[in-house]
Amino acid sequence: MSIRGIYSSVTDIRRKVFTEVARLAYEGGDYSRIEELPYKILPGETAKYRDSIFLERAIIGERLRLAIGLPLRPMDEHAPLSTGINESAVAEKYYDPPLVNIIKFACNACPEKEFYVTDCCQGCLAHPCTEVCPKKAVSIVHGRSVIDQSKCVKCGRCENVCPYHAIVKLERPCAKACGMNAIKNDQNGRAEIDYDKCVSCGMCLVNCPFGAISDKGQIFQIIHSIKNGDRVIAIVAPAFIGQFGPNMTPEKFTAAMKMLGFDSVVEVAIGADLCTIEEAKDFLRAVPAEQPFMATSCCPSWSVMAKKLFPELAPYISMALTPMVLTARLQKKEHKGCKIVFVGPCSAKKLEASRRTIRSDVDFVLTFEELMGMFEAKGIDFDAITTEVPLEEATGAGRGFAVSGGVASAVADVIKRMEPDREVKIASAQGLQDCRKLLMLAKAGKYDGYLLEGMACPGGCVAGAGTLQPVDKSTAAIAKYKKEAPDQNALDSKYEITLSLLND
């Protein structure tokens, strides 16, 4: 069971933080008033979520800093909440690593993995739990099962055989969600990220029920760029459909974005169409003549994971630019001197945009969750928007990139039209643990001749760390929006002719 898609107190706090950061930037003036915001977000004298209102406000303070792109303050020395804020009130800034951060005093120091006997134990005669334990860690004390944690090797056999389901596995949610095994304990038992392993997918961030993990943001800098008079163009990922509730239709989206100060809105699904064509050509050229299989390149966490864990397979990942970069380049060629904000579901896109080779294409990354904070700061009522501008330039193929399997099927459809007799075998995986298994099998030669698609988030981009809606609801909305596109094959994109120009 997942906490994703449930509007919880953690979601509510994140929303309020993003809203207040956006409001702070829009209003301008003396930014030292950030010191007052924890009191505005959590008023009163009584703690609502934790033991102490002071602890709650301290955590809110760190969340505010991260949302502005500032580092966490050291816990062992005094520093005002506003430290560094004036230096961050600029119209251009990439986050300083690390992107994903653990607020240590918000962490519950959950057990890494432990099997635990609950009160459901009936002290049965058979006690199969003791019989199957290979280390004799389970014994019967006063008629009840007891696990000696010093002997337990966490094999889970006792849990599997208990007829009453009285033995449960207690697991740290952030570590369980991490497909890279990048989360371990620090000396105080709190979670710590191994940044050599981390690929910034953000799954730990959305699975921590204590809200102790957060990524850095650029809301503050985007608003300063808008206020500076820059021409700021929003390029929006296909997963945006339905994210802002039923009253925000795709047709209303452009008008709502202009109310925030954006110059215009462009679908990243346009770039997805171009990426599809590029990957189809790569596949036809290289498989099997130059390489045994080809993997798609769109998800940055998937491709970074592949390069970290399977460096020998790195050459088999498509060299095609991602939809984000292709769409950004298209806009920068057309509108000289503009600033590009990628609006999407994903933490890892912040990592991708900060790469030196991509910085000139994408200036800022904003998640749907952060954008919702901007809408709330400006008090935008979606019901009151009457201007409707349909987004009609992308094909159904490009729109389908938002869900697992969408990239590979789009590429396969193009290959079928280019070479109708060519059979394209597809294997796709979602969630980094399954992606790793996919690449292990590929390494062993099980997927020769295949097109492989990996998505770091279970469900695809609609399940990204910066999304607002339940995955199943978003998937259904995408399917409907994809079907409504006038053209379904990426080769029908009117931008196909510009592909060679963008690769210059």
**Mean pLDDT (whole number) for 241-260:** 94
Cα distances (Å, whole numbers) of residue 76 to 31, 59, 72, 104: 24, 15, 12, 12
* Confidence bin at 195 (pLDDT 50/70/90): very high
**Chain center to CA of 319:** 22
Does 65 share its domain with 207? yes
Quick check: is 161 in a domain? yes
Same domain, 133 and 198: no
Q: Which helix (H) or strand (E) holds 60?
A: helix 53-68
Range of the domain at 163: 113-171
Judge whether 290 lies within some domain: no
- Co-location of 81 and 198 in the same domain: yes
φ, ψ at 197 (rounded to 5°): -95, -30
Tell me which DSSP letter residue 322 carries: P
pLDDT of residue 504: 56
Q: Is residue 52 in some structural domain?
A: yes
For residue 472, the model assigns a pLDDT of 94
Phi, psi (degrees; rounded to nearest 5) at 342: -85, 125
Q: What is the pTM of this model?
A: 0.94
Quickly list DSSP for 388-439. -----SS-HHHHGGGSTTHHHHHHHHHHHHHSTT---EEEEEESHHHHHHHH
Query: Tokens 């005002």 — which residue?
Result: 80
β-strands 425-430, 450-455 pairing: parallel
Q: What is the mean pLDDT of residues 29-52?
A: 96
Q: Do 125 and 102 sit in the same domain of this protein?
A: no
Domain annotation covers residue 333: no
What's the pLDDT at 5? 80
Q: Please answer whether residues 316 and 293 qualify as being in contact, where contact means their C-beta atoms are separated by less than 8 angstroms.
A: yes
Q: HSE of 85 in the Cβ direction (CA atoms, 13 Å)?
A: 24
Structure tokens at 240: 């945006």
Task: Look at residue 499 in the predicted model and tell me its pLDDT.
Answer: 61
pLDDT of 435 reads 97
Residue the block writes with tokens 């993997």: 295
Report the alpha-carbon angle 257-25-380, nearest 5.
Answer: 35
Note whether 150 and 100 are same-domain residues.
no
pLDDT (0 to 100) of residue 391 = 86
Give the per-residue pLDDT at 357: 86
Token reading at 310: 């399977």
Mean pLDDT over 10-28 rounds to 97
Q: Is the pLDDT of residue 103 over 80?
A: yes
Residue 137 lies in a domain: yes
Do 118 and 98 share a domain, yes or no? no
Report pLDDT digits (tens) over 344-403.
999 999 999 999 888 889 999 999 999 999 999 999 999 999 998 888 889 999 999 999
Indicate the length of the chain as a whole number: 504
Which pLDDT score is estimated for 374?
Answer: 98
| Phi/psi-derived region of residue 135, left when phi > 0, alpha when psi is between -120 and 50, beta in every other case | alpha
22 & 89 share domain: yes
**Which residue stretches of 135-184 are H helix?**
157-161, 173-177
Are 128 and 32 in a shared domain? no
- With beta carbons less than 8 A apart as the criterion, state whether 175 and 207 touch: no
User: Do 20 and 149 fall into the same domain?
Assistant: no
pLDDT at 194: 98
Which SS3 state, helix, strand or coil, does residue 482 take?
helix
pLDDT at 164 > cutoff 90: yes
Q: Is residue 430 part of a domain?
A: no
Residue 298 lies in a domain: no
Asked if pLDDT for residue 424 goes beyond 80, the answer is yes
Edge-to-edge strand ranges of the sheet holding 294-295: 294-295, 450-455, 425-430
pLDDT of residue 120: 96
Q: Which two tokens stand for residue 64?
A: 């505010």
Helix, strand, coil percentages, rounded to 5, for the chain: 45, 15, 45
Reading the block at residue 256, the tokens are 């709502």
pLDDT at 389: 86
- So what's the pLDDT on residue 95? 79
What mean pLDDT is predicted for residues 414-436? Answer: 96
Q: Rounded to an integer, what distance in angstroms lies between the CA atom of residue 487 and that of residue 414?
A: 13
The reply to whether 89 and 122 lie within a common domain is no
Predicted confidence band of residue 112 (pLDDT cuts 50, 70, 90): confident
Q: Determine the pLDDT at residue 293.
A: 97
Question: Among 182, 193, 132, which residue's Cα sits nearest to residue 157?
Answer: 132
Left (φ > 0), alpha (ψ -120 to 50) or beta: where does 186 sit? Answer: beta
Question: Is residue 406's pLDDT more than 70?
Answer: yes
On whether both 87 and 124 belong to a single domain, the answer is no
Q: What is the pLDDT of residue 2?
A: 62
Cβ contacts of 100 within 8 Å, gap of 6 or more: 193, 198, 200, 202, 204, 205, 213, 214, 215, 347
Q: Count of CB atoms within 10 A of residue 472's CB?
A: 12
What pLDDT was estimated at residue 500? Answer: 61
Pairwise CA distance, residues 234 & 264, whole Å: 6
The count of structural domains within the chain is 2
pLDDT at 449 (0 to 100): 96
Which segments of 195-353 does DSSP mark as H helices, in order?
203-207, 219-227, 250-260, 269-286, 300-309, 323-334, 348-353
Same domain, 23 and 167: no
User: Can you give the pLDDT at residue 401?
Assistant: 96
Burial 225-239 (b: 16+ CB within 10 A, else e): bbeeebbbbbbbbbb
The CATH number given to whatever domain includes residue 138 is 3.30.70.20
DSSP string over 63-110: HHHHHHTPPPPPTTS---TTTTHHHH-SS--PPPSPSEEE-GGG----
User: Has residue 343 been placed in a domain?
Assistant: no
